[in-house]
Amino acid sequence: MADPRPRRPARPREEVFATARAAIAEHGLAKLTMAGLGKQLQMSAGHLLYYFGTKDQLLLETLRWSEDQLGARRREALTDPTLDPWQRLDAYLRLYLPEGPGDPRWILWVEVWGRSPASDELRRGQQEIETPWQADLVTLIEQGTTTGHFTPGPATARAARLRALLDGLAVPIAIGLPDAHPPTALTHATSVATTLLRT
């Protein structure tokens, strides 16, 4: 006999990810329960577990969704023919750094980094998500070198150094340390990038 109760349609994955990102940013993954997230989405915890398996997998997929959104903006800026390499680099730096304390995207990164030592799955996923940031910066440096805007040098190594600096500047902002501010971080990043790349 058919169940006469109407079935609630599954929420779009984008809505699940947006709600999860907001919840993790506000409370952290440790305090997030599948039941609580399901209640916000009007879904069962079992439904969420069916799609994601674990909270770690939900965290990773939410971060991947978040970075995919930003990746589209990054690619648009880095291929804009009206911008020279220095302007493209400025756009890259601004997109990379947090917008301010509690930036949801960066709180996801902090959560992933904190849990990665105990999870091969998270480490692999983290590397996959980080790779386009590194690849795009390497390409930008190579292009700037070819056009004479940047001094010649190893693009991969210089990109890795810049990203390490950006990560170091970003985390204090994201977690809300009192002396960490986006404009100051951007100034520091721009200064170091100029030293590394200026002809």
Band (36; pLDDT cuts 50, 70, 90): confident
pLDDT of residue 43: 84
Residue 6 predicted with pLDDT over 50: no
Residue 58 predicted with pLDDT over 70: yes
What's the mean per-residue pLDDT of the chain?
Answer: 89
- pLDDT tens digits for range 85-97: 999 999 999 999 9
Residue 11 predicted with pLDDT over 80: no
190 or 17: which carries more pLDDT confidence?
Answer: 190
Among 194, 197, 183, 7, CA closest to 97: 183
Mean pLDDT of 154-182: 97
Cα–Cα distance for residue pair 134/36, rounded to 1 Å: 36
144 or 15: which carries more pLDDT confidence?
Answer: 144
Residue 178: exposure state from Cβ atoms within 10 A (0-12, 13-18, ≥19): exposed
**Amino acid identity, residue 1?**
M
6 or 33: which carries more pLDDT confidence?
Answer: 33
Residue 35 predicted with pLDDT over 90: no
Residue 179: exposure state from Cβ atoms within 10 A (0-12, 13-18, ≥19): exposed
Q: What are the DSSP calls for 157-189, one per residue?
A: HHHHHHHHHHHHHHHHHHTT-TT--HHHHHHHH
- pLDDT tens digits for range 133-147: 999 999 999 999 999
Cα separations (Å) of 167 from 36, 38, 41, 110? 31, 32, 32, 10
67-197, what's its fold? Tetracycline Repressor; domain 2 (1.10.357)
pLDDT of residue 88: 97
**Residue 151 — left, alpha, or beta (φ > 0 → left; ψ -120 to 50 → alpha)?**
beta
